[in-house]
Chain A
Amino acid sequence: MIMLTLTRIEAGHLADLVAQFTELVNGTPTDPDPALERLTPDAYPEDPDASREFRSLTRGDLLHRRAHDAAIVKRALEGIEPLDGTDDDFSPADIAIPDDQIDAWLRTLTAVRLVIASRLGIASEDDHDPSDPRFGVYDWLGFRLDGLVQAADSLRAD
């Protein structure tokens, strides 16, 4: 088990992001969505036929598993008291993540970051606009994800 400590405000933001993410992966977009494309990338960029076949076989399952992972994160965040507009919103809340749910957390935070990066048009490591608050959200998620990876790595026996 690892412990993730967030302020209630952070937990509220994360719950919002995960809800939006769930809607995205459960949706049926009429137009190609670059963010969904990124979550289900081309396996054969040089072979359109093989790529189409691979995607038709794997895409539904991949997105279904993203929704499943996100539901695990959502349930954990539901255990935190909702925001009430007082100073309590800044108080820390501990989330205990059992070993068998760590990957679901890591994959979900990663996938949410991939979607945000797609929406922001991040194409290189230098793409960063400090005046755009969405980059703040992106960086914050990266910081929390890195902390979770370190906590998860510390569980390894070797």
Chain B
Amino acid sequence: MSTALPELDEQIDLAAAASGPWQTVVWNDPVNLMSYVVRVFREYFGYSEDRATQLMLQVHHDGHAIVAEGAREQMEMHAQAMHDYGLWATVREGGRS
């Protein structure tokens, strides 16, 4: 079982690269419809109706929600996709909520 430790190390590295320290944040705006925002989260991220609704409500009540976390390039891609849908999204380094 001498290979167990190196493999474990590798898995940890991969996980770190995949989750990364960056965030895509969607901000509240007075224009976009709640039903539309839920649809965008379901369609684009593939989130369940419950998860998408929860995120939409968080945006609405808290002013923003973290919709994805991971590598910076990926978060920029998500932000651009949100902009395509007319949502107000930003990218930032993680560690905040």
Contacts and interface: CB of A to CB of B under 8 A. Distances in A.
Contacts of A142: 33
A58 B36 contact: no
Contacts of B84: 62, 65, 107
Which DSSP category, helix, strand, loop or mixed, fits chain A's interface?
A: helix
Interface stretch (B1-9, B13-21, B75-83): B75-83
Given A39-B83, A58-B80, A149-B36, A122 B89 contact: no
Given A42-B90, A103-B43, A153-B39, A54 B76 contact: yes
Interface in B14-66: 30-33, 35-36, 39, 42-43, 49
Contacts of B94: none
A117 B30 contact: yes
Nearest to B86: A110
A122 B32 CA distance: 12
Interface of A: 38-46, 54, 58, 62, 65, 103, 106-107, 110-111, 113-114, 117, 122-125, 127, 142, 145-146, 149-150, 152-153, 156, 158
A122 B30 contact: yes
A110 B35 contact: no
A117 B31 contact: yes
Which of B30, B31, B35 counts the most A-chain CB atoms under 10 A from its CB?
A: B31
A110 B85 contact: yes
Given A44-B90, A107-B86, A127-B30, 6 more contacts: A43-B80, A46-B92, A117-B31, A149-B33, A152-B39, A158-B49
B68 to A, nearest CB: 13
B39 A123 contact: no
Contacts of B42: 156
A113 B39 CA distance: 17
A124 to B, nearest CB: 5
A140 B86 CA distance: 18
A146 to B, nearest CB: 6
